[in-house]
Amino acid sequence: MTSEEIHHKIEQMGRHARQAAYKIAQLDEQAKNRILLAMAAGLRAATDSILEANARDLAAGEEKGLTKAMLDRLRLDPARIDAIAGGIEQVASLPDPVGAVIDSWERPNGMRLEQVRVPIGVIGIIFESRPNVTSDAAVLCFKSGNATILRGGSEAIHSNRAIATALQQSGAAAGLPDHAIQLIPFTDRESVAALAGMDKWLDLIIPRGGRGLIETVVSLARMPVIKHYDGICHTYLDAAADPQMAVAITVDAKTQKPGVCNALETLLVHHEVAATLLPGVAASLQQKGVELRGDETTRTILRGGVGAATDEDWVTEYLDLTLSIRVVDSLDQAVEHINTFGSHHSDCIVTADEAAAERFLREVDSGCVFHNVSTRFSDGEEFGFGAEIGISTDKLHARGPMGLKELTSYQYRIRGDGQVKG
C-alpha cells in the first residue's frame, strides 16, 4: 500500500472508532460482561483457525531466524488459547470502574458536585511479538468503556488477525458495537506514524515493546502516550537486613523469571553487612546460573568468579541471568543510585529497620517501591487489579501496573436547582 492509502485507511478506522466509543459508553456493566463472555467462548471455538494462523507465523519466524525466546513468545497451543479466553472471563468478573463516584461534595450555594469515572474514549495500542496482547488489550479497553485500535508486529500478523476476528465476530453476535475493536491489518512502518498522528480521533496511545518502538512512538505522537521504559529494578540490602530474607528475596527477584520487566537487575548492599551477606547471596545466585558483575568492593569480598561492573551495567536491563552488584556506604547512597540509574519501575529495600524502610519508600522515585517483598510482585494481578495493560513508568496519568481504573478518566457532574452566577 502507498503511504497515502495507509493514512486514509487508518483515518477511516479512527473515525469509526470514535463512533464506536460513544456506543460503548451507553452499555451497562451487565451488557459488557455478556459480550466479554461471548468473546471468550468465541475464542475457544476458533482454536483451530487460530492455531493454523499461528503456525504460519512460526514458520515465517523460523525462516527469519527469530531466537528461541522470541519464538516461544509467539507460539500458541490449545492451553495458551484457553488461558487467553480465561483472561477474558477474569476481566468480565472484575468490577466495572465506569460510573464510580470518586468524590462528592456540596457548595454553600447548594450546588452538588460529583467526580465520576468515565472512559478515555479511543485508545491505540502498538505492540510486538505476543499475540495474546491482541486479546488482553482489546478486552481491558472494552470493559473500561473504550474503543481500541490495535497495531501488532509483523511476526504475529496472522495470529493477531485470527484472534481479532474471533473477538469481533463472537462479540458482535452478543451486542459488541461495530468497530469497537479494530486491528490494523497490515504491518507497514508507516502505519505507526499514521496512528500516532491521528489526534483528531485517538485520545491516548500505549506502546508495548522494546525501547526502540517506544521512542519512535513518543517522537511521533500528537496525543498523550503512556510509556513503559526499561525495567531496571533494584534490591537494596540494608544494614538491618535479615540474612535469610536477603537471600530469598534477591534470588526470587532475579531468577524466578529473569526475562520480565520486574526482575532484579542491580543489587545494592550496605557496607556494614556486605562481608557477611554477599558470600551467601552470591553463592545462591550462582547456583541458579547467574553471572555476577560487581564493583571493586564486591569483587574483593567475593574473591573471584565475579566480573567487573562498568558504568554501562548500572543502566542495563539484562532480561537474563546477569546481575550487577554495588556496595554502598549508606541508605542515602542507595537511594541516590536508584534515582540516578534506575528506570522508575520497581525497587525494594530489605530491612528490619522500620525508619529506614519508610525513608526508602518515601524517597525512591519509582512507580512501585517495596519493603521486604520481591519486585516480582510488581504486577496488576498480584496487586488485585486482575489483568493489566502494562506497567507505566510515567507519572501522568497512570503509574505502575495499569488495570481497568487506569484506562478511565473522570468528569465533574454538577446538579443544582437554578443557581446562577450573576
Q: Report the Cα–Cα distance between both ends of the chain, in Å, rounded.
A: 59
* Same-domain check for residues 317 and 278: yes
Task: Please give the pLDDT value at position 91.
Answer: 95
Q: Are 206 and 125 in contact (CB under 8 A)?
A: yes
Four-residue CA torsion sign, 209, 214, 220, 226: positive
Which of the 8 DSSP states describes residue 285?
A: H
> At 339, which CATH number?
3.40.309.10
* Same-domain check for residues 294 and 344: yes
* Same-domain check for residues 216 and 289: no
Q: Are 392 and 208 in contact (CB under 8 A)?
A: no
Contacts with 92 (C-beta within 8 Å, 6 or more apart), sequence order: 32, 33, 36, 37, 40, 143
Residue 409 placed within a domain: yes
Question: Rounded to the nearest 5°, which phi and psi values hold at 21?
Answer: -60, -40
| Full pLDDT tens readout for the chain, 422 residues | 899 999 999 999 999 999 999 999 999 999 999 999 999 999 999 999 999 999 999 999 999 998 887 898 899 999 999 999 999 999 999 999 999 999 999 999 999 999 999 999 999 999 987 899 999 999 999 999 999 999 999 999 999 999 999 999 999 999 999 999 999 998 888 999 999 999 999 999 999 888 888 999 999 999 999 988 789 999 999 999 999 999 999 999 999 999 889 999 999 999 999 999 999 999 999 999 999 999 999 999 999 889 999 999 999 999 999 999 999 999 999 999 999 999 999 999 999 999 999 999 999 999 999 999 999 999 988 998 877 888 999 888 899 999 999 999 999 999 999 999 98
Q: How many CA atoms lie within 13 A of 331 on its CB side?
A: 20
Question: Rounded to the nearest 5°, which phi and psi values hold at 412?
Answer: -100, 130
* Same-domain check for residues 203 and 138: yes
Could you give the CA distance from residue 12 to residue 205 in angstroms, rounded to a whole number?
Answer: 17
* Same-domain check for residues 172 and 88: yes
* Same-domain check for residues 73 and 215: yes
For residue 387, the SS3 value is coil
Look at the chain and report how many structural domains it folds into.
2
0.95 exceeded by pTM: no
In the numeric block, which cell numbers belong to residue 309? 561492573
* Same-domain check for residues 200 and 272: no
> At 47, which CATH number?
3.40.605.10
Q: Are 262 and 233 in contact (CB under 8 A)?
A: yes
Task: Please give the pLDDT value at position 388.
Answer: 84
Overall size of the chain counted in residues: 422
Task: Please give the pLDDT value at position 73.
Answer: 85
Residue pointed to by grid coordinates 498480584: 382
Containing structural domain, residue 352: 233-382
Could you give the CA distance from residue 304 to residue 282 in angstroms, rounded to a whole number?
Answer: 11
Could you give the CA distance from residue 298 to residue 187 in angstroms, rounded to a whole number?
Answer: 47
* Same-domain check for residues 216 and 296: no
Task: Please give the pLDDT value at position 228.
Answer: 81
Residue 395 placed within a domain: no
Task: Please give the pLDDT value at position 183.
Answer: 97
Task: Please give the pLDDT value at position 108.
Answer: 97
* Same-domain check for residues 36 and 148: yes
Cα-atom radius of gyration of the chain, to the nearest Å?
24
* Same-domain check for residues 239 and 128: no
